[in-house]
Amino acid sequence: MRETARPVVRSFAHLSDEAVVALLARSDESALAELYDRFGRVAYGLALRILRDDKLAEDAVQEGFLTAWRNADRFMPERGKASTWLLTLVHRRSVDLVRREDRRRAEPLSENVEPETSGSAEDDAWLRFERERVQSALKQLPDQQREALELAYYGGFSQTELAERLGQPVGTIKSRMFTGLARLRELLAEPGNGEAAWKPTPYTT
Amino acid sequence: MEANALHDLTAAYALDALDSEDARAYEAHLARCERCREELAELSDAAGALAYGTEAPMPPPELRARILQEAARERPNVVPLRPRWIKPVAAIAAVAACTAIGLGIWAATLSSKLDRSESRLARQERVAQILARPGSRTISFTRGTLVVAPNGEAALVLRNLASAGNGRTYEAWIAAEGAPEPAGLFAGGGAVAIPLDRPVPEGATVMVTKEPAGGRKSPSSQPFAIVRNAAQS
């Protein structure tokens, strides 16, 4: 296997995720490395949660990142964040695999995942903070909405399967997912930014 | 499937909770439905946040190397088109300028291949000029950034702005001493970077409202974005 030549040393630290994906669309391999360093760990944690198997999780992450590599020119910044786009690719791949393997379980990963972090202290702290933020938002949802989101997103169940499993009409499942996700979005939105405090200055006519 | 039923699939699609047949039907619908595209963008960000809600152990170190090797192996032969309107060096400078002041999202738009209508190109070029002008100041506010050159020429950059919708437009205004004066129209639908039609004096306020298509002579609604070009101390 030949070593990838890296004639140009770039500093990506100040580039937004979206700008890194724009470089990815120019087949810049160091942009792919940067993207992996930013999201590889989260992507792997997600795939592992869905697939419950190291090897399958690695496959899902690899295929998700390679799909990003092949299709970076299709990423549209106006349609959403680069992180969402990338994690969606990994998630979709994981869900495909779990449905094929039919190995899904929806319970949270238990003790068997030892938090053998060994990432940088900053990464660890930041990921822990994010995890707590998302989990606390989830806890604020009504049980049925949280259940629908968790089974769908972490369990890989389709809405039809969820309807069967929970003994509810598909329409009910759809509306729980919609309401839950919309509420989750509100809960995760940063509170108290400047706009709320703005008062109109009277413009005289 | 009927359009109404398809609208209802947005959350399930964002969660990858559709069977492949429904997912394909929804994607076809998405191409035609602006409302669903907007809703999906919002719900997908919330779904993507769920990825952070679980333990994140370190992946095995070989995984990174394997992905990079595989990518190098299948490196596409097609070199992506570079925007013709801007010379590579200028493009890099503009992207760097945007990045330096935290306008990374716009930088990505600038260097992406999409949506290159002539008018938009001309606008982007003017914004790049204003950004590059020596002594330009950037004033950040919640929705984005205002860039003001020493001669008052100014550009307004807004993050992730939903499309104004059918029959509607966004309108920028500059209020100095008297009533706000119109300073440009734009449609939204993503990151926005527009040059303002008139200079922004020190102490003036720039704001944005949503107006009927074609714009108005004076604002008819509450501004949702507002930023003051505070006098330099």
Rounded Cα–Cα distance for residues A33 and B66 (Å): 11
Would strands B137-141 and B144-148 be described as parallel, antiparallel, or unpaired? Answer: antiparallel
Rounded Cα–Cα distance for residues B161 and A87 (Å): 22
For residues A143 and B221, the model is more confident at: A143
Is the CB of A135 less than 8 angstroms away from the CB of B53?
Answer: yes
For residue B29, being part of any structural domain is answered with yes
Is the CB of A195 less than 8 angstroms away from the CB of B104?
Answer: no
Same domain assignment for residues B104 and B166: yes
Lowest mean pLDDT among A50-54, B3-7, B199-203: B3-7
For residue B60, being part of any structural domain is answered with no
Same domain assignment for residues B46 and B92: no
Question: In b/e form, how buried is each residue of B95-124, taking b as 16+ CB within 10 angstroms?
Answer: bebbbebbbbbbbbbbbbeeeeeeeeeebb
Same domain assignment for residues B100 and B171: yes
pLDDT of residue B121: 61
Mean pLDDT by 10 residues, chain A (205 residues): 44 79 86 94 96 94 95 82 94 93 58 55 81 93 97 95 95 96 89 38 49
The answer to whether residue B140 scores a pLDDT higher than 90 is: no
Same domain assignment for residues B99 and B168: yes
- Respond yes or no on whether ipTM tops 0.90: no
The answer to whether residue B8 scores a pLDDT higher than 70 is: yes
> What is the domain extent for residue B217?
88-228
The count of structural domains within chain B is: 2
| Closest chain B residue to A87, measured at CA | B48
Rounded Cα–Cα distance for residues B43 and B46 (Å): 5
For residue B37, being part of any structural domain is answered with yes
pLDDT of residue A118: 60
pLDDT category of residue B52 using cuts at 50, 70 and 90: very high
pLDDT of residue B97: 55
Q: Is residue A114 less than 8 Å (CB to CB) from chain B?
A: yes
What six digits make up the tokens of A128?
């822990």
Domains located in chain A, CATH noted: 13-105 (1.10.1740.10), 120-189 (1.10.10.10)
C-alpha dihedral over B192, B198, B204, B208, to 10 degrees?
-30
pLDDT of residue B133: 74
For residue B218, being part of any structural domain is answered with yes
Is the CB of A61 less than 8 angstroms away from the CB of B63?
Answer: yes
Same domain assignment for residues B43 and B139: no
For residues A31 and B189, the model is more confident at: A31
For residues B192 and A156, the model is more confident at: A156
Average pLDDT over residues B180-192: 84
For residue B55, being part of any structural domain is answered with no
Average pLDDT over residues B44-67: 94
C-alpha dihedral over B20, B21, B25, B31, to 10 degrees?
30
Min Cα distance A157 → chain B (Å) is 6
Tell me the CA distances in angstroms from B64 to A9, A122, A157, one per residue in order.
18, 20, 29
Same domain assignment for residues B40 and B139: no
Same domain assignment for residues B124 and B16: no
Same domain assignment for residues B184 and B107: yes
Same domain assignment for residues B41 and B111: no
For residue B12, being part of any structural domain is answered with yes
pLDDT of residue B147: 86
Min Cα distance A99 → chain B (Å) is 10
Nearest to A194 by CA among B45, B140, B102, B103: B140
For residue B118, being part of any structural domain is answered with yes
Between positions 74 and 113 of A, the ones with CB within 8 A of B are 75-84, 87-88, 90-92, 95, 108-109, 113
Helix (H) or strand (E) holding A161, with range, is: helix A159-166
pLDDT of residue B167: 87
Same domain assignment for residues B45 and B96: no
Instruction: Classify A77 as helix, strand or coil.
Output: helix
Model pLDDT for residues B79-119, shown as the tens digit of each residue: 444 444 334 444 445 555 555 455 554 454 554 433 445 55
CB atoms within 10 A of CB B1: 13
For residue B57, being part of any structural domain is answered with no
pLDDT of residue A2: 43
**Single-letter amino acid, residue B66:** R
* Chain A residues closer than 8 Å to B203 by CB: none
Is the CB of B55 less than 8 angstroms away from the CB of A115?
Answer: yes
pLDDT category of residue B50 using cuts at 50, 70 and 90: very high
Helix (H) or strand (E) holding A56, with range, is: helix A54-71
Same domain assignment for residues B198 and B113: yes
What six digits make up the tokens of B193?
């970077």
The answer to whether residue B75 scores a pLDDT higher than 60 is: yes
- Percentages helix, strand, coil for chain A (3-state, rounded to 5) are 65, 0, 35
Instruction: Classify B162 as helix, strand or coil.
Output: coil
Contacts of B40 (CB under 8 A, 6+ apart): A79, A80, B10, B13, B14, B30
Is the CB of B58 less than 8 angstroms away from the CB of A41?
Answer: yes
Model pLDDT for residues B10-40, shown as the tens digit of each residue: 999 999 999 989 999 999 998 888 889 889 9
Same domain assignment for residues B111 and B26: no
* Chain B residues closer than 8 Å to A157 by CB: 17
Rounded Cα–Cα distance for residues B14 and B31 (Å): 15
